[in-house]
Structures are given as C-alpha cells and as structure tokens.
Amino acid sequence: MSEEDRLAELFRIYREACPDPEPGPDFMPGLWAKVEARRRSARTLWRWTEAFVATAMALTLALAVYSFRQVDPGLHPFSYVEGAENDENFETFAYEELAHLEPPPNQELR
C-alpha cells in the first residue's frame, strides 16, 4: 500500500468517525447562542477582575492616607542613627554598658 493510499484511508476513517453536522434551521442560532454564552462568562470574569482591582486600589490608597495621618508631631525628625551620631554621651553609655556585662562562664573543651 502506497503512502497516498494510506493517507486516503486515514482521511476516510476520520470522516466516518467525525461526520459533518447537517446544518438545519437551528444551526446558526444555536451556534450564536454558544458564542454568546462564552462571551457572557468572559464578561462576568472581567467584571469581577475589575471590581477586585478597584477594591485593591481603594484599599491601598486608604491605607496610605491612614499611615501618613498617623505621624506623631511629637516624634523627633531624625532617625536613631542620626540621634546617636549627634549625642555626645552615646558612646560613653555604650562602653559603660559593655563594661557592666559579665564575662561568659568558663567552658571546658572536650
């Protein structure tokens, strides 16, 4: 059997397994009903996605406004490191604390 005959036989088997649907009077309306059903589900998913994104953006904006309003005017306008650099007693305090630490207990080596 040649390759062309095998291919023709394959196509014949395929046509028998998957016959062409006979178009009737309900073919196009049925086809469009299926298309519209898929579009409706896609639109619904898109609307839920838009609502989720809008809610996330609103929540982010609200949290940003809330966090900026929580700044206490009584706090110092500089960080801990800047305060430590400007404080003359900071190094003395740190060394005094280290001097008061107890040495670790002697541990025997095994």
Could you please report the per-residue DSSP string of 68-94? HHT--TTS-SS-HHHHHHH-TTHHHHH
Nearby residues of 1 by Cβ (< 8 Å), 6 or more positions away: 9
Q: Give the amino acid at 83.
A: G
pTM check: above 0.85: no
Nearest-5° Cα angle at 6, 5 to 7: 90
Secondary structure of 11-64 in the HEC alphabet? HHHHHHHCCCCCCCCCHHHHHHHHHHHHHHHHHHHHHHHHHHHHHHHHHHHHHH
Is pLDDT above 90 for 55?
A: yes
Question: Could you report the per-residue pLDDT of 67-94, keeping only the tens digit for each?
Answer: 877 666 666 566 767 766 776 666 665 5
Summarised one tens digit per residue, pLDDT across range 4-53 is 899 999 999 998 898 877 778 888 888 889 888 888 888 889 999 999 99
Report pLDDT for 41: 82
| Residue 95's pLDDT band (cuts 50, 70, 90) | low
Q: How confident is the model at residue 110 (pLDDT cuts 50, 70, 90)?
A: low
